[in-house]
Amino acid sequence: MSSNSRVLSENVTPKRRRLGIRKTRPTPVKTKNSPFVNSTPTHLRLSNISKCESPPLPCNQVQYLSASPSNSSVTSEIPGSPGVFETCFFKDVENWDSFIASKNKENALMNCTEEFDSEFESKFEQKYSQNQDCSILTTNCEKLFRDEIEETFNAFNQSIANINNDIRNCDNSALFETKDSFLLDIRESGIVANNKDEIIKSKKNQVNVTQNNFYGLPMIVKGLFKTYRNIEKFYDWQEECLNLGAIKERRNLIYALPTSGGKTLVAEVLMLREVLNRKKNALFILPFVAIVQEKIWSLAPFALQLEFLLEEYAAGKGHIPPKRRRKKNSIYIATIEKGLALIRSLIELDRLDEIGLIVVDELHLIGEAGRGGTLEMLLTTVIFANKGIQIVGMSATIGNLPDIAKFLNADIYEKQFRPVELTEYVKLGNMLYKIVWGMEGMEIVPDRELSFDYSAAGSALDPDALGGLVAEVVPGASCLVFCPTKRNCENVAALLCKLQRKEMTNHRVQERLALQKALKGEGAAGELLNCVRFGVAFHHAGLAGEERGLLEQAYRSGVISVICCTSTLAAGVNLPAKRVIIRAPLVGREFITLGAYKQMVGRAGRAGVCEAGESVAVCSAGEWARLRAVLAGGLAAARSALRPAALLLGGAALRLAASRARLRALLAAALLAVAPPLASVQPSVDIDQVCDESIRSLVESGALEVVGGGSIDTMDDDTEFAVSKLGNAAIKGCMELNVAKRFLKDLEVASRSLVLMDSLHLLYLVTPHDSGIKPDYRHYYSLYCELDEEGVQTAKVLGITEVNAIRMMTGKPITNVPESVLCRFYIALMLRDLWRQMPFPAVAEKYGVSRGVLQGVMSSSSSQAASAARLCDELSLWSFRALLEPLAARLQHCAAPALEGLLALPAVRKARAMQLLRAGYKRIEDIAKASVDELTSSINHLSRTAADHLISSARMMLIEKVENLRAEAEDVMEDLKT
């Protein structure tokens, strides 16, 4: 062996170890007449089980189908694994390696690796020592390795199709366990269509379908929409929209229809066309994490049947940059902030052309402060990059569509279509007036006088007759009551409990008791537990996510008939109702806008839920004139909320614009140039002036530098700019520049005296500066007195001393410590208690905050920690990066490290994860290998249906890991070519 080859041999890591593959080959367990390990679904063995008549989560044009119950473990996270693919790959299998065994070549991946290693080492040494060209050898080895890996992955995917074939022969009733359960596990995906031969086909037939005559998609898609959505025919407007010239010619498009008109269905068809026909990825931008999770769930069956990937980019999920997929295309479903991070990472790696379509839901949010600017930045960056990406936006409430269309260079499609009739009323005194919209504007027509059999005490208690308005529709149907504030939600819910009739209080009593028990286990307050007994609940940001999730599931299944909620529910959660009541024409302390009104009344009446919807706006005589002006005044315009400096810094960092002329062109491409923020005062904006001011501020802050050392005062169009290390770090960390600079100042102080007795000082570093939490200083003093040594030392480093504590107690002002430091230290103490596994309700009570606020602070701190770790990585602050990176992961749940893997499963919270751990299920793989019987016998209060979902979720997560391994294996092949 030559010296050169010896060096290569010693330094090259064996492929087997790099791929994480072991040589041991346990005997695979096979079922008779099947090439796959234990592929018979356990739930097919169930019998004599009745269907649940509770409706599943409604979506566009859904006729309610049967749904299955769950138990108290269900939370606000929507399970991401579809029930129709409930396989049992792992039953009786003791080793994950046997899972990927195939009929004709067991453990092909391992065999391939061993052969590849030996052949590569021996032949490479021989040819290298003889100074011969080894390209032929590399090509042959690569082909052998790639073919064997591909065969294994194909066998894995085929096993899913075989399971599906087994399901089509089962009785549908076997998929459901009990009747009328409040804890509804959404199971559209477990319902098999009647026309089985048309809908469910083998993988071979799916791949070979070439007749694209279902709106440009294979006919299999028609069957999937019938199976999972019960949609056989699209509305006329949907057909018309899908056949627009803008769609056929791939021009940008905005389509606007009232809420519940079926807008999302069109978007789904367009995204399916993109990934199946054009073989490009698609990005779906949604406003809230809950809606992202809901969409992941609803599209999962389509992804498995049609062999594309769904990737979630919300909260702490999503790879930045995304994995490069060579065999499959992906639909990225993302929040606005995560979508911007994804786009930036693709541009940086020159991979933006992998995306062919971007769909934006709730496009009107572009006019909101904060995230509206982020959305505008995302769309402007994509437009300016000019990679031929089609942008499709949809909304129900935009008052200046032409401006938005000009910004996006898009066509407009508008329809006033609603599949279910909505009747709008306004209550003035004891009269109910019908709102009539005509060519000449809005009018109100007397409909009826309200007269309910109230006692004198009842009339005094409920002068607005809310109880009577609710009682007209419940419990036979559902009702949403929108209230201005969180406190008002709770008060109205308590009021309605006192006014309910017998038919309401006696409705589904046992399931309400079960709901009470589940909520109590999550630490819910007594007021909420009392309301639930009467079929009433309140829903607002003060509740923990687990509580909101349980209430939403109960409402969908009909156990809870009335929810008193704030306006955020109208846009954030898909909960339709027979009747919507607007308690007062206010949102917080602000008067209601037409957009907010439309969002609220849009919850009333959905296809498949009820034949008609009603809305009632309760209004006093003094408020009516103003409300009338709002309703007749038209929708508000969506004005730019862009932060120009942030856009320019991002453009420069991504090398989209380096000169003043290019930076100005980037700014001119934004909505700011079309619809400035103060259009009534300043109808247009001077782009040159804004550009120069932004560049000057970026240079002065140290984010931009003039190339060649020139002066900013002599800047012209050819002046070149480079992004400083700080600017690049801020972009990589997805931080605002001022936030990044403030964080670095904190690090500078901490680097001199970092307290590492425990986590308190690190938690302080990642607490938000603008949480809105104002501590009670008298209570603060008592907390200070209880501090341990770590707490005292950390407080001392921050400048908080006993003298300050005494001034807190006496109410004297504190001048030597900024108020923001005091507030952040208070929050850090909360986080440390959560970190130490103190129960969530106990921490909320100790610090005088709601559970929802506490959960929000924890989530914000987790995101801040992740951003800070990326920023430190970019600035080579490796010691802080090493400390902050694991901090971010653990802050997502504040659970013990042993639970973190289990908490990654959908619908699993800390309590359920603890049960699984105690029962011996330490890893996701352990759950994936378990049977339903094993889980239900090991975990208390876990139904067979919930166990089935849990196992399916674990297996789906492992499938994603396998696909990631495929990507890594293909990267190895690319490395061999270089």
Phi, psi of 875 (to 5 degrees): -95, 10
| Residue 618: per-residue pLDDT | 95
Task: State the average pLDDT over residues 325-345.
Answer: 90
| Residue 953: per-residue pLDDT | 65
629 three-class SS: helix
35, 155 contact by CB (below 8 A): yes
Query: How does pLDDT run across 672-708, given as a tens digit for each residue?
Result: 999 998 755 567 789 999 999 999 999 998 899 888 7
State the number of CA atoms in the 13 A half-sphere of 496 facing the CB: 37
Task: State the average pLDDT over residues 78-86.
Answer: 31
Task: State the average pLDDT over residues 110-114.
Answer: 40
Give yes or no for residue 381 having a pLDDT over 50.
yes
Mark out the alpha helices in 130-218 (DSSP H runs).
135-167, 196-199, 203-208
| Residue 40: per-residue pLDDT | 33
The C-alpha torsion from 127 through 131 and 135 to 138, rounded to 10°, is: 30
273 three-class SS: helix
Q: Rounded to two decimals, what is the model's pTM?
A: 0.75
Instruction: Give me the percent of the chain exceeding a pLDDT of 90.
Output: 35
| Residue 469: per-residue pLDDT | 94
Which of 36-45, 229-238, 272-281, 805-814 is the most confident on average?
A: 272-281
251, 567 contact by CB (below 8 A): no
pLDDT band at 470 (very low <50, low <70, confident <90, very high): very high
Least confident of 349-353, 471-475, 810-814: 810-814
- What's the CA gap between 649 and 509, in Å, rounded? 59
Query: How does pLDDT run across 591-639, given as a tens digit for each residue?
Result: 999 988 988 998 888 776 677 899 999 999 899 999 999 998 888 889 9
- For residue 300, give the amino acid letter: A
Task: State the average pLDDT over residues 814-819.
Answer: 84
Mean pLDDT score of the chain: 77
Higher per-residue confidence, 683 vs 203 = 683
| Residue 417: per-residue pLDDT | 86
Number of C-beta neighbours around residue 786 at 10 A = 9
- Omega of the bond prior to 321 within 30 degrees of 0, cis? yes
Query: Measuring CA to CA, which residue among 228, 211, 242, 212 is closest to residue 305?
Result: 228
| Residue 144: per-residue pLDDT | 56
Task: State the average pLDDT over residues 267-295.
Answer: 91
* Angle made by CA atoms 484, 863, 282, in degrees to the nearest 5: 85
Give yes or no for residue 220 having a pLDDT over 50.
yes
Higher per-residue confidence, 909 vs 81 = 909
Query: How does pLDDT run across 415-463, given as a tens digit for each residue?
Result: 888 888 899 999 999 999 999 987 777 889 999 999 888 888 888 899 9
271, 217 contact by CB (below 8 A): no
> What tokens were used for 849?
């905050």
556, 64 contact by CB (below 8 A): no
| Residue 125: per-residue pLDDT | 43
pLDDT band at 855 (very low <50, low <70, confident <90, very high): confident
Question: What is the total residue count of the chain?
Answer: 978
| Residue 46: per-residue pLDDT | 32
